[in-house]
Amino acid sequence: MEASQEVVLSAFSELLGCQLQRLESGVAEMTLALEPHLRNRGGKMHGGVIFSLVDTAMGLACSSAHGFDQQSVTLECKINYLRAVSDGEVLCIARVLHAGRRTLVVDADVRQGDKLVAKAQGTFAIL
């Protein structure tokens, strides 16, 4: 399934400026442009913003795997920040690695061009 208006993003992800680019079974791609209100005191994209992008993309990847008629929630997520973002846009690609009956394991990369900005892995529970 391609990204469409049918998928409703949360008010929080819309506030951040997350844009859904692609959605198919078990995969979600989202972009986020660095705006002034998303910067930390050092002028870089805040780590919490990157984490929120990751969590949102992972959640959509889960929903696309188990169906939008069910909800899933983050049980845990680990992220490694590898590079600072000073300007421009980042792309998050989230993929479901394992979809069980009760939990899903999801992997995500955040990239800026060909550079890896952050790497994350999370576990989600199906409600």
Q: What is the pLDDT of residues 76-121, one digit of tens each?
A: 999 999 999 999 999 999 999 999 999 999 999 999 999 999 999 9
Query: Quick one: average pLDDT of 60-74?
Result: 94
Domains of the chain: 11-126 (3.10.129.10)
Beta strand 19-24 pairing with 27-33:
antiparallel
Q: What is the pLDDT of residues 18-63, one digit of tens each?
A: 999 999 999 999 999 999 999 999 999 999 999 999 999 999 999 9
How many alpha carbons fall within 13 Å on the CB side of residue 24? 3
Q: Vertex 109, ends 100 and 57: CA angle to 5°?
A: 60
pLDDT for 124 beyond 60: yes
pLDDT for 4 beyond 70: no
